[in-house]
Structure 1
Amino acid sequence: MDITTAKLVCFSPTGTTRAVLEGFARGFAPETTELVDITRPDVRARPLRLADGEMLVIGVPVYMGRVPALLGDWLAALEGNGAPAVCVAVYGNREYEDALLELKDIVSDRGCVPVAGAAYIGEHSFSNEETASLGRPDTSDMAHAEAFGAKVREKLQGIASLDEVGELKVPGVHPYGGRTELWDVDFIAVDRELCTQCGLCAEVCPVEAIDAQDGTIIDEKKCITCCACIKSCPEGARSIKPGPVKDAQGRINSLFTVRKEPELFL
């Protein structure tokens, strides 16, 4: 089976999921690679329709054991048209729970044929210098992602059509566990002496929760606690203030210290 185009679809506020998919694409080596970064609201406003010769490679970060709920409308508009799909969940060295199964079920319901899945580790949104997932995906993870791409290409080249592909088995249970509701919490501290009002925080926010003219103004009801604004601030002016998110950061640092490795499902 010949695939000429890989459509890389990612929701990646801090760039970890995007990096994994780009590594996969290097290993798969299609004639054409198209990145569809649905992190930005304007991109999520445009539906995706797959065509003959195209493959969907979709990656999402795991939010509380699930696919991020804010992607629901975009995913519901996806038109798979029988295209093969590779599903990737990226999590912060805790657990990915039912997220990969949920993602596989969604793309299958939208007309894709899941042919492979994977779970990779990315730096946790709440990470600091004590977090086990710091700096991931690292060199080893990226080499693994490239090898994964090569394995999927080999699998597809070995079949004449997707009718030869059996059901993809990935971990998870029905009904899904985890939680889909977002935290509504004031957790970002802004050092006004360091902040230069450059506007980068507003630019990288995937839900437009930060005022473009004043980065200290945050709509807590829109915020999804992705921490993209904190990680991208060039002045280090943003941090996690004491409270439930800071407490969660402490639990992640103390309970999930053993390095986890990527998992593949072919």
Structure 2
Amino acid sequence: MLAAPVFGGRLPGIAARRLAALKGHGLPAVTLAVYGTRAFEDALLELNDIAAADGFQVIASGACIAQHSIVPELGPGRPDADDLAEIAAFAARVLDKAGRGDTTAPQVPGNRPYKQGMASLTAPITLEGCTRCGRCAAVCPTKAITVTAEGVRTREDLCAMCMACTAACPSHVRVLPPEVQQKTAQKLHPLCSLRRPNAFYL
């Protein structure tokens, strides 16, 4: 399984670079792009292209919904029980396909050349009240955060905007700059009532 989040319809740059370093040696693979309701656009195709270049044989793909990391009003509570049931059914179909020795590649939506990657938003900041507990740094998947006695430093070139640090902060002082949070929420607000379906490709 090769899975990656979606940011602005593309894979985050750091995720793409890490995936490109893998070696598949002809092994079958299932790819999964996870996005927060808006759209996955070229991300799944990009993921499959990287997997193929790495030497994997992609036999199945999915684009699944999760609660939006920046605007949690999008896809609240997802993946939920219905999503998990769909994913389990998809997994069973994948196992059946693999058991039959079928290695045909799925046809997934997307365009080449890919859409222009979204410019990274400003990384989360740390407000007054930080206790330097280090939980933000501990959960950061890209090691973008350093906590010292002087404060919290974030490398924006490594930040993937996953918002894990904001969710982990026990003092709730790890946040996006308010103007960025407000602008993003306003842009995505029309999608709040939408329940986007998961998409699977075999």
CA displacement at 1:221 relative to structure 2: 4.1
Structure 1 residues 190, 71: CA separation in 2 closer, same or farther (over 3 Å shift)? same
Which whole-Å CA distance do the structure 1 matches of 2:20 and 2:154 have between them? 29
Structure 1 residues 72, 220: CA separation in 2 closer, same or farther (over 3 Å shift)? closer
Amino acid at match of 2:145: I
CA displacement at 1:227 relative to structure 2: 1.2
Amino acid at match of 1:70: I
- Tell me the secondary structure at the aligned position of residue 62 of structure 2: strand
CA displacement at 1:180 relative to structure 2: 5.5
Is the aligned partner of 1:207 residue 2:145?
A: no
RMSD: 2.1
After TM superposition, list the pairs within 5 Å mapping 1:4-83 onto structure 2.
57-83=1-27
TM-score by length of 2: 0.88
Contact 1:100/1:172 (<8 A) preserved: yes
Structure 1 residues 186, 170: CA separation in 2 closer, same or farther (over 3 Å shift)? closer
Contact 1:170/1:265 (<8 A) preserved: yes
Amino acid at match of 1:137: P
Match of 1:225 in 2: 161
TM-score by length of 1: 0.69
Q: Which runs of 5+ in 1 are unaligned?
A: 1-56
Which whole-Å CA distance do the structure 2 matches of 1:68 and 1:257 have between them? 26
Amino acid at match of 2:144: A
Match of 1:132 in 2: 74
Q: Which runs of 4+ in 1 moved over 6 A?
A: none
Contact 1:203/1:212 (<8 A) preserved: no
Cα shift readout 1:76-115 (whole Å, capped 9, x = no counterpart): 2221111111110000000000100111111111111111
Contact 2:4/2:15 (<8 A) preserved: no
Which whole-Å CA distance do the structure 1 matches of 2:116 and 2:44 have between them? 12
Match of 1:244 in 2: 180
Which whole-Å CA distance do the structure 2 matches of 1:228 and 1:122 have between them? 13
Identical counterparts, % of pairs:
37
Structure 1 residues 217, 77: CA separation in 2 closer, same or farther (over 3 Å shift)? closer
Q: Which runs of 5+ in 2 are unaligned?
A: none
Is the aligned partner of 1:261 residue 2:197?
A: yes
Which whole-Å CA distance do the structure 1 matches of 2:116 and 2:88 have between them? 30
Contact 1:189/1:241 (<8 A) preserved: no
Structure 1 residues 95, 238: CA separation in 2 closer, same or farther (over 3 Å shift)? same
- Tell me the secondary structure at the aligned position of residue 211 of structure 1: strand
Structure 1 residues 187, 250: CA separation in 2 closer, same or farther (over 3 Å shift)? farther
Pairs aligned (count): 201
Is the aligned partner of 1:101 residue 2:45?
A: yes
Which whole-Å CA distance do the structure 1 matches of 2:26 and 2:74 have between them? 39
